């Protein structure tokens, strides 16, 4: 494994997906791991790009066969990350996992060197406003998501880095700085620039 594995977690509505999408657009050396899920696609989502959308039976079969690095049951749907796909991607690129705190805990056990980042909203009021602004969820779902958000955010202390997504560009620069700092760590440089460093010393 030569690439860095970044775990990015946030409560629904905190802006994680938008931040990650823009980070990927600006940095060609980092890729996004595409998870499997049993939930229905939202408007504009593409199978294989945003998620691998599968039915319950297919997901449970993959789970029983040990295909998932991590999996979770969230908001009535199942989510899972393929370990094979992660290992393949890390041979050539840095990789982002967009997963919840439960999945993050599972991944850290298998990849202790993974870098975990939690994205917080500036307030509960703003989080609720963002959820309502999507226009995708019923009142009942929004209330459930807000309750789940408080539980999710209570695990923020388990992560390596935290950024508050109040001003989008500032939060994006925070993420980019974390990624860049990890690439400049000595162990990473010794691996990726072995020939150069050998020639210098």
pLDDT of residue 1 exceeding 70, the answer is no
pLDDT of residue 138 exceeding 90, the answer is no
In a domain, 79, yes or no: no
Task: Write out pLDDT tens, residues 170-190.
Answer: 999 999 999 999 999 998 888
In a domain, 131, yes or no: yes
- Tell me which residue range forms the domain holding 194: 5-33+94-200
Is the dihedral angle over the CA atoms 78, 81, 84, 89 positive or is it negative?
positive
In a domain, 27, yes or no: yes
Average pLDDT over residues 87-108: 92
Give the pLDDT confidence score for residue 132 in this predicted structure. Answer: 84
Average pLDDT over residues 72-94: 90
| % of the chain with per-residue pLDDT over 70 | 99
In a domain, 26, yes or no: yes
CB burial readout 150-159, b (16+ within 10 A) else e: eebbeeeeeb
pLDDT of residue 27 exceeding 60, the answer is yes
In a domain, 82, yes or no: no
In a domain, 101, yes or no: yes
In a domain, 171, yes or no: yes
Average pLDDT over residues 158-166: 95
Q: Band of the pLDDT at 24, cuts 50, 70, 90?
A: very high
Number of domains in the chain: 1
Average pLDDT over residues 137-166: 90
Task: Write out pLDDT tens, residues 10-23.
Answer: 988 898 989 999 99
Model pTM score? 0.84
Is residue 144 helix, strand or coil?
Answer: helix
DSSP character for 47? Answer: B
Q: Which of 20, 51, 70 is nearest to 179 (CA)?
A: 20
Give the pLDDT confidence score for residue 144 in this predicted structure. Answer: 85
Give the pLDDT confidence score for residue 77 in this predicted structure. Answer: 93
CATH number of the domain that residue 145 is part of: 3.40.50.300
Give the pLDDT confidence score for residue 155 in this predicted structure. Answer: 95
Task: Write out pLDDT tens, residues 35-45.
Answer: 999 999 988 89
What's the CA gap between 147 and 150, in Å, rounded?
6
In a domain, 59, yes or no: no
Q: Which range is least confidently modeled, 11-20, 57-66, 105-114, 133-142?
A: 133-142
- Alpha-carbon distances, residue 63 vs 48, 66, 69, 71, 93 (angstroms): 18, 5, 9, 8, 26
Give the pLDDT confidence score for residue 30 in this predicted structure. Answer: 96
């Amino acid at each position: 494994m030569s690439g860095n594995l970044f775990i990015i977690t946030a409560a629904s509505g905190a802006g994680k997906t938008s931040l990650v999408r823009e980070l990927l657009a600006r940095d060609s050396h980092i890729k996004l791991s595409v998870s499997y899920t049993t939930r229905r696609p939202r408007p504009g989502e593409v199978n294989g790009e945003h998620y691998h959308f599968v039915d319950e039976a297919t997901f449970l079969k993959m789970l029983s066969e040990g295909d998932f690095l991590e999996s979770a049951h969230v908001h009535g749907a199942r989510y899972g990350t393929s370990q094979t796909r992660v290992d393949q991607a890390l041979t050539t690129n840095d990789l982002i996992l967009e997963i919840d705190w439960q999945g993050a805990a599972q991944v850290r056990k298998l990849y202790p060197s993974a870098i975990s980042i939690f994205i917080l909203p500036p307030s509960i009021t703003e989080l609720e406003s963002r959820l309502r602004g999507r226009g995708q969820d019923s009142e009942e779902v929004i209330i459930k998501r807000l309750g789940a958000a408080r539980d999710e955010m209570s695990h923020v202390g388990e992560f390596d880095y935290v950024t508050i997504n109040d001003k989008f560009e500032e939060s994006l620069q925070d993420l980019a700085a974390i990624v860049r700092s990890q690439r400049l760590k000595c162990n990473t440089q010794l691996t990726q620039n072995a020939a150069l460093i050998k020639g210098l010393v």
